Structures are given as C-alpha cells and as structure tokens.
Amino acid sequence: MLSRVAKNIYWLARYLERAEDTARMVNVNTHLLLDLPTIGRTFGWEPMITIMGSNKLFYELHQEHTEDNVMNFLLDDSRNSSSIHSSLAQARENMRTTREIFPKEAWEQLNNLYLFVKEEEANGLTKSNRYDFLKQVILGCQQFTGILMGAMSHDAAYNFFLLGSYLERADMTSRTLDVRSANLFSQGSEESNIKLSPFYNIQWMSVLKSLTAYQMYRQHVRTRVKGADVLKFLLQDHEFPRSVFFCLGMVENRLSGLPKNDSPRRTLSHLQRQVQAANVRELAYQGLHKFIDDLQIGFGEVHKQIAGNYFGEVVG
C-alpha cells in the first residue's frame, strides 16, 4: 500500500481514538464534579486540560478554567487541534483522501458523525445535553471501528488503523493516570485518605470510568477500588483493552503483519518489559510521574520508527 495512504490511515485512527477518549473523559468528569462538594475540592476542570497536554494553548485563549471555557476548548474549539470537533474534522479529512481503501459504510458513518458533531456541538456545551451528546460521539466512534472490524479485510490498511488506535489509546491511558494520580496520591497515605475523605473512592472510580474500566476492574480485580490496584490494572492488565500493556501488545501484534518491522518491535518489547516490571505499589507514592514520562518518550520513539519505516518520513 502507498506510504501516503498508510500515513493518513494511521492518523485517521489516532484522531478518532482521541475524539472518543476525550468524550469519555469529559463525560465521566462532568458526572464526578456533580458528586464532589464545591468547597475545598481538589479536583476541578483544569486537570482535563492537563491530560490533553494543552495548558499552554488553553491559557493563551482563556483566563480561567471555568466549566464553560474548558468545555468549549475540549469540545468545539477549532483552534484546539485536539478538541472533539477538530479531531473528527481531521479524521474525516484523512479519510477523505483514503476513502477508496475503506468500506463505503465506514465513510458514511464517519461523515455522519462529523455532521452530527458540527450540528449539535452547542448542545454539548450545556450541562443537561452534554451526556447525550458525548454518548453519541463515543457510540459513533465505536460503530466506526466496529464496521472496520466486521467489514474490512484485515490487511495492511487495517493494521495501520489499529497501530494508530492502540498507540493513541496507550498514550491517553498513561496521560489520564499521570494527571489524575498525581492529584490523588499527593493527599497522603491510602488508608488515611479513605478515612478522611468520603470522596476519595469515587475519584478513583472516576479514573476507571473515564477509561471505561470500572466494570471490568470489579470483575477481574475483585477488591474494592484502591488507588494502587487501579493503577496496576490500568498499567499491567493483560486482558483489559485500554490498559497500557494490552495496547502495546496490540501495536506489537499489528506490526508483526507488516514488513520492515524490526526497529519498532524492539522498542515495543522494551516498553512492554518496562511496564510489566514496574512495582506499582511503590510507584504510586514515588516516581510515577517520571515512570510515565519515560513511557511516553517510548511511545514517541515507536511513532517515529513507524513514520520512518513506512511513511517515508525522515527520522528526526
């Protein structure tokens, strides 16, 4: 397949995953904030900006991280290239140039989703309609990936799609863990936290929920929601499709079906070992931020190698 096409498909997948993950994050956090007392709460709208790595841009555009500003920024601001609107617009633009590769209904689905967001995004800004709006975005993305899974040959093009999806997802999961844990673990020891704050638990639950992991966590971890266990589940679980380890495995797996895959596969096994070997209970209290920083440098490395090997881009 053409290098240019491979590159567009890879980015299509990344933008689509980004839109979905952002929608999940905003939805859960909107709900969480309804449960938290407004006085003395340590968690607000700002961490969502931090998770997206967009603090600089955000404060160039806005003075304060009020709900309106943050929602506007994350949902429909075209100046933010990671807003749901921009992500879907770019996903669609990438697909427009690679339409002939995908089943027709996949294009119709994405086009529809984009038109829906364009039409309805004002609704997403109001509290009462936001849940439905975001749910439609999430479902729309899921339908798209479902169509590909069920109606597209699992060929090189599909491999590039999954490469993009899982690499983006690994990145988003690690970002969520980084920002939210920093906030939660800094409050002292786990036991004292649980005693002191009745809201401690629901915050960890929200971390799970924003990665749609709550139910699976309950089924597979079988303990009450505790910070270190949540961290372990989202970093190391072998079966949950949003854990960092799982995502890396999928990237590796898809690479194995492509030519010239030596260098990115080496980087990936190294990353997988790094995740697997981490002592999560210790990390929770010390060095988590640095650990995730290292992981993200690794993701960046994998991206560069993919771009260099397949897209004909100069590895810088």
Partner 1 sequence: MWVIFKLPSPPAPLPTGVGRQAAPVVFSPLPLGEGPGVRGNISPTLHHYPLFHQHHINHSSITHTGNPQMSIHWNQYNATCFHDELIQDSGEPRLAAAALCNYLSSLTDEELKKRKNAAELAILVMGITFTVYSEGTNIDRAWPFDIIPRIISKKEWERTEAGLVQRMTALNMFIQDLYSEQRIIKDGLFPIELLQNSKNFRPQCVGIRPPHRTWAHICGSDLVRDRDGTLYVLEDNLRVPSGVSYMLENRSVMKRTFPELFENQNIQPVDDYPSKLFDMLASISPRTEERPQVVVLTPGIYNSAYFEHSYLAQNMGAELVEGPDLVVGDNDCVYMRDIQGLKRVDVIYRRVDDLFLDPEVFESDSLLGVRGLMRAWRKGKVALANAPGAGVADDKVVYSYVPDIIKYYLDQDPIIPNVETYRCLDPKQRSHVLANLDKMVVKPANESGGYGMLVGPHASTEEHAKFAELIQNDPRNYIAQPALTLSTVPTLCDDHVEPRHVDLRPFILQSDSTYVTMGGLTRVALRKGSLVVNSSQGGGSKDTWIINTEDP
What is d(CA 259, CA 248) in angstroms, rounded to the nearest whole number?
18
> Phi and psi dihedrals of 126, rounded to 5?
-85, 145
Member of 79, 104, 195, 266 binding partner 1 (CB under 8 A): 104
Member of 112, 186, 192, 276 binding partner 1 (CB under 8 A): 112
Q: Is 111 in the site for partner 1 (CB under 8 A)?
A: yes
Which residues in the 212-251 window bind partner 1 by CB under 8 A?
none
Q: Is 3 in the site for partner 1 (CB under 8 A)?
A: yes
Q: Is 99 in the site for partner 1 (CB under 8 A)?
A: yes
200 C-beta neighbours (distance < 10 Å), count: 20
Member of 42, 55, 97, 215 binding partner 1 (CB under 8 A): 97
- Rg of the chain on CA atoms, in Å: 19
Member of 13, 26, 88, 156 binding partner 1 (CB under 8 A): 156
Q: Is 260 in the site for partner 1 (CB under 8 A)?
A: yes
DSSP category for residue 94: H
What is d(CA 51, CA 77) in angstroms, rounded to the nearest whole number?
17
Phi-psi region at 285: left, alpha or beta (left = phi > 0; alpha = psi -120 to 50): alpha
DSSP category for residue 72: I
Q: Which is nearer to partner 1, 54 or 309 (CB)?
A: 309
Closest CA to 42 of 228, 192, 187, 194: 187
Task: Give the interface segment with partner 1, choosing from 2-10, 27-35, 53-61, 213-221 (CB under 8 A).
Answer: 2-10
Q: Which is nearer to partner 1, 96 or 127 (CB)?
A: 96
Distance between terminal CA atoms of the chain? Answer: 24
Task: Give the interface segment with partner 1, choosing from 1-9, 14-22, 46-54, 213-221 (CB under 8 A).
Answer: 1-9
**Where does this chain bind partner 1 (CB under 8 A)?**
1-6, 93, 96-97, 99-101, 104, 107-108, 111-112, 115, 143, 156, 258-260, 310, 312
